[in-house]
Amino acid sequence: MRLVLGVLALLVPATAVGQAPTPEKVESPNVKVLTGLYAQQFQEEMNLIVQGLGVTCNTCHVRNNFASEEKPEKLKARLMLEMTKALNEKYFPDYKAKDGESVLGKVTCYTCHKGETTPKNTIGH
């Protein structure tokens, strides 16, 4: 029996044994701004948005239907993310995220919102 198992192990390509699965990028017609991210990065960005605004997923997403375009908050969130990406591209083009930081850049939802849905007045403070 050991000999049979040993021979079978030799027949399985070495790259398939003990190798982690290749991460896949999130691709969906409904993902319009957070594009090009791997699933884990995408989830981490969504978590940073939730923290930055002090909200839950259901603020922008229809419960049990994340693809739905029904809520106007989702459109607003996309516009804000586009603004954030533009700021980062213009002012922090060389920014490299460390663990736990947004891969989108130095400016995040938290930069202005500080954990609340309404942005804080940061001018002069």
How many Å apart are CA 41 and CA 100, to the nearest integer?
A: 10
95 class by beta-carbon count within 10 Å (0-12 exposed, 13-18 middle, 19+ buried): middle
How many Å apart are CA 26 and CA 41, to the nearest integer?
A: 9
How many Å apart are CA 109 and CA 52, to the nearest integer?
A: 5
Set out the domains of the chain in order of their start, with CATH numbers.
Answer: 21-113 (1.10.468.10)
The long-range contacts involving 14-18, CB below 8 angstroms and separated by at least 24 positions, are none
Question: pTM of the predicted model, to two decimals?
Answer: 0.77
pLDDT, the chain, mean: 87
pLDDT tens profile 50-71: 999 999 999 999 999 999 999 9
10-residue mean pLDDT series, the chain (125 residues): 49 60 88 94 96 97 96 97 97 94 94 94 62
How many Å apart are CA 72 and CA 41, to the nearest integer?
A: 24
Amino acid at 98: K
- The answer to whether 78 touches 33, Cβ cutoff 8 Å, is yes
Q: What is the pLDDT of residue 82?
A: 97
